[in-house]
Amino acid sequence: MKCQRCIEGKEVRYRVYSDVIDMKVCPSCAAEAQSLRLTIELLPRDEVKRVDVKGEFSNSKRDMVFLVDSPAI
């Protein structure tokens, strides 16, 4: 599946979501989402290969990527 955000056509590896958005994105778009402090999940391999017409996720286990604030200097 291709990235739902950029036009580079890279394969999706992450899910980025908030109360407004929910999309599957490539690593570079996920890095940008992290800088915007959005929630990011690493997609399992079977999720990356599967194309879901409804855009829904299965109940399969996912790895979570947590954002950590760096200490103020």
Out of 26-30, 31-35, 41-45, 52-56, which region has the weakest mean confidence (pLDDT)? 52-56
Percent of the chain at pLDDT above 90?
51
pLDDT digits (tens, 9 = 90+) for 41-68: 999 877 666 544 444 444 444 444 544 4
DSSP letter for each residue of 22-72: EEEE-HHHHHHHHHTT-EEEEPPHHHHH---TT----S---EEE---PPPP
Q: Where are the domains of the chain?
A: 14-65
Put simply, whether the predicted model's pTM sits higher than 0.75 gets the answer no
